[in-house]
């Protein structure tokens, strides 16, 4: 800064700027961020499982009562162990909130398919965003695995975990 700019105030350097910055930070504090993880779960899909059979490897309850217009990123991860497995399954996240009678799907279904009998282990993960919530309360997110084609061999889904990061969709609350 030179002598001709003595009346210039940089927002980050003067006391007025610090007050503005503190107000911005305080406004951001009005909307907390929630981070939550489920406990790991597992399911085994036995040989010759019928098409349409469903399994639930994990679920997570998320309370967004303190959030205004909540937005959540839901992450699923697992280890898949195939033993001479062929078949096709899909993973779909469903959400059921306090005043709902049935769960509703959130995001697309994700497929895992093996066309040739295989014995191996691999990771399987995906994430979805839930921004269409008009509920500011407890919702349970559940991953449902559905068999899409008759299976041969055994498929085990280990360490299935859901994680959630939720916050307000706007910078300030309503």
| Confidence bin at 9 (pLDDT 50/70/90) | very low
Q: Which of 66-75, 103-112, 118-127, 142-151 has the lowest mean pLDDT?
A: 66-75
The residue that leads in pLDDT, 138 or 170, is: 138
Give the whole-number percent of the chain exceeding pLDDT 90. 59
| CATH code of the domain in which 105 resides | 2.60.120.660
Report if residue 67 sits inside a domain.
yes
Q: What is the number of domains present in the chain?
A: 1
| pTM attached to this predicted model | 0.78
Give the whole-number percent of the chain exceeding pLDDT 70. 78
Report if residue 62 sits inside a domain.
yes
Report if residue 16 sits inside a domain.
no
What CA–CA distances, in Å, run from 174 to 32, 68, 72, 139?
Answer: 13, 6, 17, 21
pLDDT number for residue 65: 84
pLDDT for 17-47, tens place per residue? 444 455 555 555 578 899 999 999 999 999 9
Report if residue 3 sits inside a domain.
no
Of 75, 63, 70, 65, whose CA–CA distance to 128 is shortest?
75
- Give the angle subtended at the CA of 128 by the CAs of 59 and 62, to the nearest 5°: 40
Report if residue 15 sits inside a domain.
no
Report if residue 88 sits inside a domain.
yes
Instruction: Let me know if 145 is exposed, middle or buried by CB neighbors in 10 A (0-12, 13-18, 19+).
Output: buried
Q: Per-residue pLDDT for 158 more than 80?
A: yes
Q: Per-residue pLDDT for 134 more than 80?
A: no
Domain housing 35? 31-168
Report if residue 137 sits inside a domain.
yes
Report if residue 98 sits inside a domain.
yes
pLDDT for 74-112, tens place per residue? 999 999 999 999 999 999 999 998 888 999 999 999 999
């Amino acid at each position: 800064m030179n002598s001709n700019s003595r009346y210039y105030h940089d927002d980050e350097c003067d006391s007025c700027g610090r007050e503005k910055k503190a107000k911005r930070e305080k406004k951001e504090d009005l909307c907390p961020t929630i981070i939550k993880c489920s406990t790991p779960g597992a399911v085994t899909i036995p040989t010759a499982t019928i098409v349409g059979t469903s399994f639930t490897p994990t679920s997570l309850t998320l309370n967004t009562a303190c959030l205004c217009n909540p937005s959540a990123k839901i992450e699923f991860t697992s280890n898949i162990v195939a033993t001479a497995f062929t078949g096709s399954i899909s993973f779909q996240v469903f959400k059921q909130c306090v005043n709902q009678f049935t769960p509703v799907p959130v995001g697309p279904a994700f497929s895992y398919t093996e066309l040739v009998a295989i014995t191996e282990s691999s990771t399987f993960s995906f994430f979805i965003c839930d921004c269409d919530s008009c509920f500011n309360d407890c919702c349970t997110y559940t991953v449902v695995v559905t068999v899409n084609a008759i299976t041969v061999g055994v498929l085990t889904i280990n360490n299935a975990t859901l994680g959630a990061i939720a916050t307000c969709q706007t910078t300030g609350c309503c």
